[in-house]
Amino acid sequence: MASSILPRLLLPLRTLRRCPHSLPTGDFKCCELLSAPFSRGGSVLLTSPQLRPRGPAGANFFHTSAALTKGKTPSQALEGPRKWPAYNTIVLPPQEREEPRRAAQCFHMRTQIRYSMQNLWYSAQMIRGLSIDDALNQLEFHNKKGSAIIREVLLEAQEMALRDHNFEFKSKMWIAESVSGRGVRVKGFRKHGRGRVGHLKYNFNHYFVKLEEGDPPKQYYSTPPRGTIKEQVQKHLDQLRSRRIFEGL
């Protein structure tokens, strides 16, 4: 079918305007050709579902955008990652009586967010190591689109932790991990004047969060080799106070 269609794909524009209903296109309505995108040479490219051939996994041979994800069909790529929610299904071995109680954990995510990954990262890293109440308060007064999205995800994760993962108290949990990841990039075109087109890129991103039961740690990030900020300030003050003027009184 594709070989018989190819000679008729590029048709002169004047032919369409002169006699739009007399083209030898079979069951295809010729009036639909007038709404098709035009190329620079005054020709039109047919985009009807009846005429465009389809390859494996529904790929269109005439589509000019790149594949969404290598090795995946477009439907699989739009589903998002699968490993992060799979952590909720891991069954850990039972503990001994002498061992301290293992903290409960809850993994949650939201995929294909129409937002910049760099801007989403600012809101994600702001709440790392905070309790759930402090994180919700911080995001409520942060005037960013990504903060509103992350706040919705945290509320969903909080409800999921209480319902499915045996968290005891609603407020006694903290943000153990909060990261953003890159999703798919959908490429498109925008028609301009004189037969020109503009390239469009629609970026989508993911957000991942891990809640852990208990109180947040005092120092979330690993201690730097030089010590914490307070320790560095105290060390600097000690060095200033220990100064001595040689050969003085």
- What is the pLDDT at residue 179? 96
Residue whose pair of structure tokens reads 């000679």 in the numeric block: 7
Distance CA 130, CA 177 (A): 10
Question: Within this chain, do residues 112 and 174 fall inside the same structural domain, yes or no?
Answer: yes
- What is the pLDDT at residue 249? 65
Question: Within this chain, do residues 33 and 131 fall inside the same structural domain, yes or no?
Answer: no
Parent domain of 49 = 2-58
Question: Within this chain, do residues 126 and 208 fall inside the same structural domain, yes or no?
Answer: yes
Residue 15 has pLDDT above 80, yes or no: no
- What is the pLDDT at residue 39? 40
- What is the pLDDT at residue 227? 81
Distance CA 132, CA 169 (A): 11
Q: What is the pTM of this model?
A: 0.64
More confident residue, 13 or 224: 224
Residue 86 has pLDDT above 70, yes or no: yes
Q: What is the pLDDT of residues 97-139, one digit of tens each?
A: 999 999 999 999 999 999 999 999 999 999 999 999 999 999 9
109 belongs to a structural domain: yes
Reported as a pLDDT band with limits 50, 70 and 90, residue 14 is very low
Residue 74 tokens read as: 């477009």
* Percent over 70 (pLDDT), the chain: 69
- What is the pLDDT at residue 229? 84
Question: Within this chain, do residues 114 and 197 fall inside the same structural domain, yes or no?
Answer: yes
Question: Within this chain, do residues 138 and 189 fall inside the same structural domain, yes or no?
Answer: yes
Question: Of 29-38, 78-87, 120-129, where does the model show the most confidence?
Answer: 120-129
* Percent over 90 (pLDDT), the chain: 57
What's the rounded mean pLDDT across residues 59-78?
A: 55
Quickly list DSSP for the chain. Answer: -HHHHGGGTSEEHHHHHH-TT----TTS-GGGGGGSPB-TTSEE----TTTS-B-GGG-BTT--SPPSSTTS-HHHHHH--SHHHHGGG--PPPPPSSSPPPPPEEEEEEEEESS-HHHHHHHHHHTTT-BHHHHHHHHHT---HHHHHHHHHHHHHHHHHHHHS----SSSEEEEEEEEEEEEEEEEEEE-GGG-EEEEEEEEEEEEEEEEESPPPS--SPPPTT--HHHHHHHHHHHHHT---TT--
Question: Within this chain, do residues 79 and 130 fall inside the same structural domain, yes or no?
Answer: yes
Reported as a pLDDT band with limits 50, 70 and 90, residue 74 is low
87 belongs to a structural domain: yes
Residue 140 has pLDDT above 60, yes or no: yes
- What is the pLDDT at residue 228? 80
Angle at 155 between CA 149 and CA 157, to 5 degrees: 100
The structural domain count of the chain equals 2
Q: What is the CATH number of the domain that holds 183?
A: 3.90.470.10
Q: What is the pLDDT of residues 156-207, one digit of tens each?
A: 999 999 999 999 999 999 999 999 999 999 999 999 999 999 999 999 999 9
